[in-house]
């Protein structure tokens, strides 16, 4: 094909070119099918790993959500160190939990509508 003379204006060959036989060394469709199958397999493996990671994360989250028990019986979920700290803080300052000051009611100008 490359050795045949061609017309310089149209770039067409001056003599007719015929293909007598062809030889296919490698089927391109088989290669493409194999690549697609490999990509699908990788995608399935990736999805399976993501599901496993999600399950592991869910199990860890459930374990972390479970309350920690410090003792048996009533108040078993209350941390004793926080109770000791809060009791010490209450004794140090003056108590303001006595009688609360009453809020004064604001006066409104619409008490009597007879002037309307």
The reported pLDDT for the residue numbered 49 is 96
pLDDT at 106: 64
Evaluate if residue 51 carries a pLDDT over 90: yes
Q: How far apart are CA 76 and CA 84, in angstroms?
A: 15
- Pull the structure tokens for residue 9: 């204006």
Most confidently modeled range among 7-11, 80-84, 109-113:
7-11
- The rounded distance, in Å, linking the Cα atoms of 59 and 57 is 5
Residue 87 pLDDT > 70, yes or no? no
Q: What is the pTM of this model?
A: 0.36
| CB-based contact 57:65 (threshold 8 Å) | no
What is the average per-residue pLDDT within 59-76?
82
Instruction: Give, in order, the Cα–Cα distances in Å from 40 to each of 53, 73, 96.
Output: 20, 56, 70
Q: Report whether pLDDT(44) > 80.
A: yes
């Amino acid at each position: 094909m490359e050795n045949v003379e061609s017309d310089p204006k149209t770039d067409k060959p001056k003599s007719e070119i015929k293909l007598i036989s062809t030889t296919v060394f490698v089927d391109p469709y088989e290669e493409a099918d194999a690549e697609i199958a490999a990509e699908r397999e990788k995608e399935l493996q990736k999805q399976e790993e993501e599901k496993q990671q999600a399950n592991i994360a869910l199990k860890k989250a459930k374990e972390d959500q479970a309350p920690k028990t410090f003792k048996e019986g009533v108040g078993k979920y209350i941390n004793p160190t926080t109770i000791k700290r809060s009791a010490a803080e209450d004794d140090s300052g003056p108590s303001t939990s006595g009688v609360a000051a009453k809020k004064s009611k604001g006066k409104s100008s619409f008490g009597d509508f007879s002037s309307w």
